[in-house]
Amino acid sequence: MHTDYFSFEDLTKAASEYLEGLKRSKQTIIIYNWIWRKIKLYMDNNNIVQCSPTIISEYLNSVYGDKPISQLSHHQKHCLRCALCLAQFAETSKMTEIISRREPMQFSGEIGSLIMQYIEYKRSMRLNDKTLANHSWYLHNFLQYLNGHSILTPSQISPLGIMNYTTSLYPNQAGAKHLTLSLIRSFLRYLYDLGKTRADLSLVVPRDNYKKQPKLPSTYTRNEVSKILESIDRSPAIGKRDYVVIMLAARLGMRASDISALEFRNISWATNTVSFKQFKTGETVELPLPAEVGESIIDYIKYARPVSESRSVFLENKFPNSSIRPEAVSRIVSTAILKSGVDVGERKHGSHALRHTMASLLLECKTPLPVISELLGHTSIQSSMCYLRIDIESLRQCALDVPPVPESFYIQKGGAFYV
């Protein structure tokens, strides 16, 4: 073990500097430190002074026990990885520069070439790169199965081979299995349309009854939002800008894309409104401009905004002072939430979480759903229905009383079942 670190603070400071040397972003380092502070809390609760790989292992065991990694959520896996990085640094004064890397996928043979052709066909349908990468990965697994069974041409693909492959797919991952079945079905139909197979083998691919359950939106309480806003230091110029950005997300529920694209012409000081065309839907929405939000915008424009002829309200502080991007808005919100001391838990902490929070607070105030839908700029009220699942107080009113069980139920057949 490396013994130059006399305290947990020294260890995490050195680890943070090491991450900076690896060119990790400030946001990434903040998240690492936020997770590492959980280890410090565990040490304080157990009167442990010096951190070591053994202590980190004990902490992980206290949190996750013997739970297999495959059963951990994405957030839990990330926390586990960050904790192991610190353990590795405490042991060797180094961290793995690249935590994981997939081997380059090779699409060899006739079927491999057809898969690549299929991916390009999907690209022409304007699917984004991330979706195409997922398609490539799942179809690559299918290709490996075919090659492993000496199926090298489309004409050799048989219904039995398809059934053998699909029956063993991801037994514990219903979503991944559903996506794989859909992709294989689409690819086989593509082969049939090209005349590469005599029969439409897509009809052989079994159907599943997978129903995707939407996740509950991440929200914060009114007090937590106040704590986040109060934690922002508004004395420097960047603090004034970040405060306004978070106000627009929390008070008006604006998306990151709309905040970054906000221009002076979108703000009407005469009517105290903000009107803009939404980037996501293309629909124009007009929102009221509360006094506290308007005052924070004026404070930023007068005392913090770089001198520029740009029509965009929010600019980067560094030359050439270009408009901030949506990713920067999400980073600003995420950094502020993590630094505020709010216990995030497994909740998301981006700008969209504050949008969800505004909808949740409006529901608490008994605001009608059509009004919430209009304020959020949804094209359909159905898009706002998901927030009803987090309105706990209203859901309680829908609960039915459990009727009492008659005494005759317990004494039936002489009470033989309930003695």
Instruction: Give residue-wise pLDDT tens across range 327-345.
Output: 999 999 999 999 998 998 8
Range in 45-49, 121-125, 176-180, 386-390 the model is least confident about: 386-390
Rounded CA gap, 218 and 386, in Å? 12
In the CATH scheme, what architecture does the domain 222-395 have?
Orthogonal Bundle (1.10)
DSSP string, 94-108: ---SSS--PPPP---
Q: At what angle do helices 291-303 and 237-251 cross, to 10 degrees?
A: 160
Query: What pLDDT shows up at residue 239?
Result: 94
Rounded CA gap, 315 and 275, in Å? 19
What mean pLDDT comes out for the span 158-165? Answer: 90
Of 152, 79, 81, residue with least CA distance to 113 = 152
Query: What pLDDT shows up at residue 75?
Result: 79
Question: The pTM is what?
Answer: 0.56
What lies within 8 Å, CB to CB, of 346 at 6+ separation is 73, 75, 76
What mean pLDDT comes out for the span 373-394? Answer: 72
Rounded CA gap, 110 and 273, in Å? 60
**Confidence band (pLDDT; 50, 70, 90) for 53?**
confident
In the block, tokens 């005469």 appear at 270
Rounded CA gap, 42 and 83, in Å? 12
Task: Tell me if the bond preceding 320 is cis, omega within 30° of 0.
Answer: yes
Percentages (nearest 5) of helix, strand, coil residues in the chain:
60, 5, 40
Question: Which tokens in the block code for residue 392?
Answer: 């706990």
Q: In 10 A of CB 389, how many CB atoms?
A: 12
Rounded CA gap, 17 and 37, in Å? 16
Query: What pLDDT shows up at residue 80?
Result: 87
Query: What pLDDT shows up at residue 280?
Result: 85
Q: Higher pLDDT residue, 395 or 299? A: 299
- Give the DSSP H or E segment for 274: strand 273-277
Q: At what angle do helices 369-376 and 351-364 cross, to 10 degrees?
A: 160
Q: pLDDT at residue 416 above 70?
A: no
What mean pLDDT comes out for the span 151-157? Answer: 92
Of 354, 371, 376, residue with least CA distance to 249 = 354
Q: End-to-end alpha-carbon separation of the chain, Å?
A: 63
Asked if CATH classification 1.10.150.130 holds for the domain at 109-203, the reply, yes or no, is: yes
Q: Higher pLDDT residue, 66 or 305? A: 305
What mean pLDDT comes out for the span 1-16? Answer: 74
Query: Which three-class secondary structure state does DSSP give residue 299?
Result: helix
